[in-house]
Structure 1
């Protein structure tokens, strides 16, 4: 039976007169990687900063491992490892010196510090750089050191805010793999505004847009939600749009050019096969049939429109 490690209840916060988040509620179980998805400025970082005790919310409660963040902040923070969007690295220290300092800050007993540092370096794949200045590391390895400081005290919850931002494709793959490995032992919250990052890394997803929680479910459920509902069809001898509309499953036909159409459908079952068969039978000389994926902006808009606005 999985235990609840995080419980967020009716969380509100504002900057000046504008609400950054409104009535956010969710729980997180032990183990696994959860994605917090949202566009830039949606309220992700605000939520994570409050969860980690960096910000004090205007209203609502944060409970970490049974500790109220306001009433018992020290005990609650002991259970959290946090990597903010800008990793808190001391560039003029070596990897070993920096992680040793982090271990002291995390109140790890002196006799256990060296072991904790070695374990965190090994887990994050930076042991061979233990004596190198952090300023001389690549972006990917700097991020690994940032993750190492977040796990050095063996927290139950690891919070990573945009951990792949600014990394090249190879570095992103390496950090993804590391996050998944950490998720096998701890609960990880991974925030991103990039849909593919969340899809590749997370098992569950929560989406915040305009300060509101607009979606919470498994990654599979989210992927089903965003299944394409249109395709592009290019033909040498295309028929009239009215002819395409007669094909079972076709809902709407949009003329993009003399040869290309956007076909919208209500049921994806065999729609491609039906269009191909019709093309062969009628001699349309089909050249291309491509499913269109919803953009992240479109998904945000769809989900936001389904969520009622909340007032203070």
Structure 2
């Protein structure tokens, strides 16, 4: 337990008669960026709100750095930085005024507040806007200020709920880079319903669907979760699709261009060797043969469809 940053044990919560999360159970033992993935309404925000002490769970335990968040809420919350979906910004304050107020709320000693504010602004790239009203900042810089308030007290755990929502592509790229930098020093939980965001930012991924944890592993394992079932073939002298379809193991053929085809198969065993052999024998002049990986959307759909039903 000494090295455990977060330990969540058998977490359950419901709104009315509907279960929001069911038996959520995981640990975080190291720095880095962990993606909490799931569709809208899957239970991500409920899990994060309970983890940060915003919401009381119906059943289960949350321990942050050895402190139970129900039994020792003040000590546990000292170790957490939280940016909810709607950043808690005071738009009529300047960046410096707002972060100074956040430092007071985080019980940072008065003699250390200026240094803490300066450090958080520098880390998040907003020092040059220190005297600007938050209402006059762009969406991307408002989000940076929101992240600054989450790290101003040097927490062990930083929880970011949909931090790139509503940003333009350039702003998303900048916020991604900032999150990765924070993950070099702290444990970051990054939630999103957008698969590409988690793929671009996270090393580990946990997926919640219908309130149930359906996947826990590395990002690479997530990307490779579904066995590929198609190849791309490029040939200088291609046959008609019917001839390709006659190769043993091929289930379907789709012509993508004059020279390129998508070849689907039901059994991956020796399929590449059979296609290469057929090409050599028939003179198709094979130029490229590439195994297609499943898209993240396919993986997401398959895992969602496999979600079991649980009852208390």
What is the TM-score normalised by the length of structure 2?
Answer: 0.88
Partner of 1:252: 251
Measure the CA separation in 2 of the matches of 1:136 and 1:268.
60
Query: What aligned pairs does 1:73-222 form with structure 2 within 5 A after superposition?
Result: 73-222=73-222
Q: 1:85 to 1:290 in 2, by over 3 A?
A: farther
Aligned residues: 309
Partner of 1:239: 240
Query: Are the counterparts in 2 of residues 10 and 61 from structure 1 also a CA contact under 8 Å?
Result: yes
Measure the CA separation in 2 of the matches of 1:281 and 1:2.
64
Q: 1:150 to 1:269 in 2, by over 3 A?
A: farther
- Structure 1, unmatched stretches of 5+, are none
Cα drift, residue 262 of structure 1: 5.0
Measure the CA separation in 2 of the matches of 1:194 and 1:55.
24
Query: Are the counterparts in 1 of residues 126 and 141 from structure 2 also a CA contact under 8 Å?
Result: yes
- Which whole-Å deviations, capped at 9, do the CAs of 1:69-91 have from their partners, x for residues lacking one? 11111111111000011111111
Q: 1:290 to 1:211 in 2, by over 3 A?
A: same
Measure the CA separation in 1 of the matches of 2:227 and 2:167.
28
Q: 1:224 to 1:86 in 2, by over 3 A?
A: same
Measure the CA separation in 1 of the matches of 2:41 and 2:246.
41
Cα drift, residue 224 of structure 1: 2.3
Cα drift, residue 93 of structure 1: 1.0
Secondary structure in 2 aligned to 1:81?
Answer: strand
Partner of 2:303: 303
- Which whole-Å deviations, capped at 9, do the CAs of 1:132-164 have from their partners, x for residues lacking one? 111111111111111000000000100001111
Instruction: Give the superposed CA RMSD.
Output: 2.9
Query: Are the counterparts in 2 of residues 30 and 156 from structure 1 also a CA contact under 8 Å?
Result: no
- Which whole-Å deviations, capped at 9, do the CAs of 1:208-229 have from their partners, x for residues lacking one? 1111101111122222224642
What is the TM-score normalised by the length of structure 1?
Answer: 0.88
